[in-house]
A and B are shown apart, each in its own frame.
With several copies, the nearest count.
Chain A
Amino acid sequence: MTTTAEVEALGLTREQVLTAYTTICRARALDDRRFLLNRTGAVAFIISPRGHEVAQVAAISALDPGRDRFCLYYRDFAAALACGFTSEELMLSAFARPQDPSSGGRQTPGNFGSRRRGVIVGSSTVGPQIPKAAGIGLALRWQGAGGVCYVSFGEGATSQGDFHEGLNFAAIHRCPVVFFCENNHWAISVPQELQVAGPGVAARAAAYGIPGVAVAGDDFFAVYRAVSVAVQRARAGEGPTLIEARVLRLQSHSTDDDQRGYREAAELAAEAARDPIPRMRATLTELGWLSAQEDARIQASLMLEVDAATAQAEAASDPDPQTLFAHVYADA
Chain B
Amino acid sequence: MPDRTLVQAVRDALREEMERDERVCVLGEDVGRKGGVFGATEGLQARFGARRVMDTPLAESSIVAVAQGLALEGYRPVAEIQFADYSFPAFNQIVNEVAKVRYRSNGDFSCPLVIRAPQGGGVRGAFYHSQSVEAYYCHVPGLKVVAPSTPADAKGLLKAAIRDPDPVIFLEPKKLYRAGREDVQDGEPALRPLGQARIVREGADLTVITYGYFRAVALDAAARLQADGIEIEVVDLRTLRPWDVALCMESVARTGRLAVLYEANRTGGFGAEVAAELAERCFANLDAPVTRIASPDVPSMPFNARLEQAFLLDADRVTAELARLARF
Contacts and interface: CB of A to CB of B under 8 A. Distances in A.
A and B touch in the complex (CB under 8 A): yes
Interface of A: 44-45, 69, 96-98, 101-108, 111, 113-115, 120-121, 123-128, 130-140, 142-143, 149, 156-157, 159-162, 165-166, 168-169, 172, 187-190, 194-196, 256-257, 261-262, 318-319, 321-331
Interface hub of B32, B85, B97, B304 (most chain A Cβ within 10 A)? B304
A104 B127 CA distance: 13
A319 B32 CA distance: 40
B128 A124 contact: yes
B175 interface: no
Contacts of B74: 139
Contacts of B165: 329-331
Interface in B64-88: 65-70, 72-75, 85-86
A132 B65 contact: yes
A161 B297 contact: no
Interface hub of B93, B105, B125 (most chain A Cβ within 10 A)? B105
Contacts of A169: 56-57, 59, 62, 66
Given A131-B66, A139-B74, A140-B73, A106 B302 contact: yes
Contacts of B104: 103, 106-107, 111, 113, 121, 123
B297 A328 contact: yes
B96 A128 contact: yes
Given A188-B34, A190-B30, A324 B310 contact: yes
Interface of B: 29-30, 32-34, 37, 51, 55-59, 61-62, 65-70, 72-75, 85-86, 89, 92-93, 96-97, 100-110, 124-129, 141-142, 144, 165-166, 296-299, 302-307, 309-311
Given A128-B96, A139-B70, A319-B306, A134 B62 contact: yes
Contacts of B57: 156, 159, 165, 168-169, 172, 190, 194-196
A131 B62 contact: yes
Contact of B62 (A168, A190, A256, A261): A168
A166 B68 CA distance: 13
Given A165-B59, A187-B29, A327 B89 contact: no
Contacts of B103: 106, 327-328
Given A113-B109, A324-B298, A105 B37 contact: no
Q: Report, nearest first, the 10 A-B pairs whose CB atoms are least far apart.
A: A135-B69, A139-B73, A131-B65, A135-B66, A104-B106, A165-B62, A189-B34, A159-B57, A124-B128, A321-B310
Contacts of B129: 124
Given A124-B126, A125-B128, A162-B62, A329 B96 contact: no
Given A123-B100, A162-B65, A262-B33, A96 B304 contact: yes
A324 to B, nearest CB: 4
A290 to B, nearest CB: 37
Given A128-B61, A134-B69, A325-B298, 6 more contacts: A101-B108, A130-B65, A140-B73, A162-B62, A194-B55, A327-B102
Given A102-B105, A142-B51, A44 B303 contact: yes
Contacts of A257: 37
Contacts of A161: 59, 61-62, 89
A160 B29 CA distance: 12
A160 B59 contact: yes
Contacts of A123: 96-97, 100, 104, 127-128
Given A132-B97, A162-B62, A162-B65, A107 B303 contact: yes
Nearest to A169: B62
Contacts of A156: 57-58
Given A160-B89, A261-B34, A115 B303 contact: no
A142 to B, nearest CB: 7
Interface hub of A256, A318, A329 (most chain B Cβ within 10 A)? A329
B306 A162 contact: no
A23 to B, nearest CB: 23
A318 B33 contact: no
Contacts of B30: 188-190
26 contacts: A44-B124, A69-B73, A96-B305, A104-B304, A105-B304, A107-B104, A107-B303, A113-B105, A113-B108, A123-B100, A125-B92, A131-B61, A135-B67, A136-B73, A139-B72, A139-B75, A159-B57, A161-B59, A162-B65, A189-B55, A190-B29, A194-B55, A195-B58, A262-B33, A324-B307, A327-B102
